[in-house]
Amino acid sequence: MLMQPSKANVVVAIPTNGNDGREQMSGVFDYVNGHTNWAIQLINARTDIADGKFENALENANGLILSIAYGSAWSADRILKGNPKLKMVVTNDHLVPMFATCHRCRTMLIDSVSVGKDAAHYFNSLGRFASYGFVHGAIRYPWSVEREEGFRSALPRKAPLFVFPELSSATAPNDAISHMIPLEELGRWLEGLPKPVAVFGANDKFAMEVLTACEQRGIKVPQQVSVVGCDNDPLVWRNARPPLSSFQLPFREVGYKAAQTLDRLMRNRNPPQRTVRVAGTRLFERESTAHVPPATALVEKARAYIAEHACEGIRVDDVALNLGVSRSLLDLRFRQVCGKSVLADILDVRLAEVRRQLAKTSHTILRIGHDCGFNDPDNLKRLFKSRYGISMRQFRHDGATGR
């Protein structure tokens, strides 16, 4: 009589309160049901850890897939202590530093840089935008920072990118829970962006906050602000107004590959890569980026001319003359397509360049104003403070000190 192979005891600690965790858990079971005879114990909530259920489960476990982050008390020693046979795969960015040198651990993560690039490519496919925005939460999580990096790298050359919160560089500790965005501040930021603007939220929750702030401020979506998020969480996009366009991320594949990698580790067939990043998104397009008819040829030409010559001190009459149309017709078409005047677009381009030079150069404020087409320094100072809620001098100081 053939002996049945003994079952491996595997703990799967993945939170299922969000769409990402549920998809990841599904991927784990896709692999488990087709390739293993594991005995699975699920830990899917922080309370299972707080009451000791997690540590008890680890005592006799052969393997662990870990995604739940639980406070500063986490440590590799605490999890691996007393169980020399335990092998594990981590699927949470926050936990990676704790297990970076552990030979019994591998890491399986979303390729967040590629997510950001996919968002930029999508916006590029919609046509020309006056500016682009990226929204973090109140805390800049590692995956959020990487998505901004990818988004920035794939935007059109010299495209103005604005990041919210602008001057924050905080990263998330392991026990960070709060990520609420101050809506009043977000609304002011959105109002100040050159329109139309394409905004990418680091996840669906942050993107939904953008939609809420737009509604409160009377900013039109998608005519003035096009918004896309990621996770494709039905609990978020269905309750957003308008419904949110979102990228579905390969969480299911992360779960599948995590289980596959753990299986190899437990069989002492060590995977060669310590860290694997899984790429591949699928866009679900909804009303927040619903196709807006391409700008008329007239407006496209006007905006291209403004982008190239705004800082040379051009006036609205100069733009109309260059295009061979009346100023009134040009302004009418501009308002129909962009929701603002030609003069407002010229000022948007100039002020964006002023901000860039304040942050990136040591030129005097007087010289910056002259280089950006402002002949009256006092008028520039008033415009800048009215637009951004801060003086030019304070903006430069805050950027230099990291505040």
Question: What's the pLDDT at 74?
Answer: 59
Distances (CA, A) of 388 to 96, 256, 288, 380, 384: 38, 47, 25, 12, 6
Domains 9-110+251-279 and 112-249+284-289 share a fold: yes
Q: Give the phi and the psi of residue 63 in degrees, each rounded to 5.
A: -145, 160
252: nearest Cα among 45, 19, 9:
19
Question: What's the pLDDT at 273?
Answer: 81
Residue 91 near residue 262, CB atoms below 8 Å = no
Provide the residue type at 381 as one letter. Answer: K
Grouping H, G, I as helix, E, B as strand and the rest as coil, residue 351 is: helix
Residue 245 near residue 288, CB atoms below 8 Å = yes
Residue 121: which residues within 8 A CB-CB, separation 6 or more? 154
Question: What's the pLDDT at 126?
Answer: 83
Residue 391: which residues within 8 A CB-CB, separation 6 or more? 381, 384, 385
- CATH number (3.40.50.2300, 3.30.420.40, 3.30.9.10, 3.30.2010.10) of 112-249+284-289 reads 3.40.50.2300
- Dump the DSSP string for 221-278: TTTTEEEEEES--HHHHTTSSSPPEEEEP-HHHHHHHHHHHHHHHHTT---S-SEEEE
pLDDT < 70 stretches in the chain: 1-6, 50, 70-76, 167-180, 291-297, 399-403
* The pairing of beta strand 282-284 with beta strand 245-248: antiparallel
Residue 80 near residue 102, CB atoms below 8 Å = yes
Q: Is the peptide bond before 243 cis (omega within 30 degrees of 0)?
A: no
Angle between helices 297-309 and 342-360 (to 10 degrees): 30
Question: What's the pLDDT at 167?
Answer: 57
Alpha-helical segments (H) within 38-195: 46-50, 53-58, 76-80, 96-99, 112-126, 142-153, 183-192
Residue 236 near residue 244, CB atoms below 8 Å = yes
Question: What's the pLDDT at 397?
Answer: 79
Q: pTM for the complete prediction? A: 0.69
Question: What's the pLDDT at 135?
Answer: 97
Return the CATH number of the domain spanning residue range 297-401. 1.10.10.60
- Dump the DSSP string for 77-120: HHHHTT-TT-EEEE--GGGHHHHTT-TTEEEEEE-HHHHHHHHH
Which CATH architecture does the domain made up of 9-110+251-279 adopt?
A: 3-Layer(aba) Sandwich (3.40)
> Which residues does residue 254 pair with via DSSP β-bridges, in sequence order?
none
Please report, for the chain, the start and end positions of each structural domain, with discontinuous segments joined by +.
9-110+251-279, 112-249+284-289, 297-401
- Which helix or strand (DSSP H or E) is residue 328 part of? helix 327-338
> Which residues does residue 40 pair with via DSSP β-bridges, in sequence order?
10
Grouping H, G, I as helix, E, B as strand and the rest as coil, residue 281 is: coil
